[in-house]
Structure 1
Amino acid sequence: MIQPPPEGVIRLAVETALAEDRAAEDVTTLAAVTPSLRGTARFLAKQDGVLAGLPVALEAFRVFDPTAGLAVHVQEGGRFAARSILAEVTCSVRAMLQAERVALNFLQRLCGTATHTRAFVDAVAGTGAVILDTRKTTPGLRDLEKYAVRCGGGTNHRRDLAAMAMIKDNHREALARAEMSLADGVAAIRQRTPGVAVEVEIDDLDQLEAALAARPEWILLDNMSNADMAEAVRRTHGRAKLEASGGVNLKSVRAIAETGVDAISVGALTHSAGSVDISLDLEF
């Protein structure tokens, strides 16, 4: 079972979205629908995809009707075909109509991320490389989007700036200005936050030996050619995990994986995924 984000994280995201939509002031539903009316509605897929987000959609209905329940037909992380019934929600019709747009917005977008991720995961199958997400997420929705990546078979990279240390190009410039070496920077991180993994970014093979000498757990190969990445794999010989990054797409990802890198980070999983077309059809 894929672990969803904490309930408090889901609740905050949903309440923020409902407030933005002024769902509690729905002038149509509050006037035209009697409070006692209950019904069932089906989440119907209009295209193929991978499921993510049912717990978030359900929370949108429960804000207005705590008794709302979900009959699940496709599990989180499962593939579905167009015209599939994904789940059925039963609750107050008022709650259903007030929360419909927000529930669908979350479900469609998270399914889009999961579906996009699964395409990358499938593209590298058999190579041993894992697909990582990045911090290029929608502000306020990081945990939900990283959950969708997991539903798609991807692996979450560092969640935030405190979860893992990463010395990137601008950090290297700052170290040089302070007359500190890369090894000095890694040592300072280990002294301040022992136990936290360290990654060093490089953009050419000339920087590899210095990076290896600093003994980080990971080295990020940024926008390097496939030939150079394969050479980095050969020279590293398991002394650090290697992550490929930069402009990765579905056409290029297989060849990158075949260089022998351990992981490939893809910002597009979250910043460029579309939405899957899903409708909510009310039935009584």
Structure 2
Amino acid sequence: MTGEIFEENRPRLRAVAYRMLGSLAEADDALQEAWPRADRADTGDVENPAGWLTTVVARVCLNMLRSREHRREEPLEGPLGEPLAESEAARSVADAVDPEEEALVADSVGLALLVVLDTLSPAERLAFVLHDMFGVPFDEIAPMLERTPAAVRQSASRARRRVRGAPLPQADPVRQRRVTGAYLAATRSGDFDALLALLHPHVVLRADRMVVPTPEPIVVTGSRPVAEGAMASMGRARFADLVLVDGRPGMAMLENGRLRVVLRFTFEAGDSGLITGIDVIAEPERLRKLELTVWS
């Protein structure tokens, strides 16, 4: 395989790797690891270099995803509302990519999509990304997962149900969508007054111990203290999007392509529709138990 062919296919290969891994830095690492494999391989009989290279990159990404499952979760540090603390390894990865580029690419793919993809198993993610997003036949995906094409098809179907979206909550869906979207917009822009107008005067925010390094979960009561905490988190709201959390309105935040924090909202009944409760979830075990779906 010549370097020229690899470079011709690099944009597509990077797109595959990014959707598999959710991080530009890790996508570039995957391509860097894939090139020596492609260079050493005997490709004289390869009729479709682009498809073959996609398979090579996908296998590398699958190994990286599987290694994530065995990696110890990094604790989150820092007081409520501040950006999540990063490990040295995470900082080195983040420093390798321009944050502006990362944000633009994430927006172009869809943050909600990346959030839900990160909740899938490696097999489900591979099957969905390759088949539904890049048109790779199940017969070609099956050997990567050491499964039958039928089993791979089922994995893609499970992923598709999560990714393709869920209906709006039945209780006042239009208002809840508007209020949740306005909450995200206010935290991104730093509009304190707009955020305050969305919160019930007696709103209660509950944050687990991974959000705040304390022996017990934190409870914050009152619209102004809750809004002040949200304003402090506006930096990470840039990598947040609306999702349904166990069928309820919510937001999810990514860090280096990984799901780190979920907010789940409750609302006042009636015309006001103000936010009365916010659950902030960051404990890995709790995150794994949540069912996140794209809010269509």
* TM-score past 0.5 threshold: no
TM class, shorter-chain normalised? under 0.3
Q: TM-score normalized by structure 1?
A: 0.26
Q: TM-score normalized by structure 2?
A: 0.26
Tell which has more relative contact order, 1 or 2 (C-alpha 8 A, sep 6+): 1
Structure of greater Rg: 1
Structure with greater proportional helix content: 2
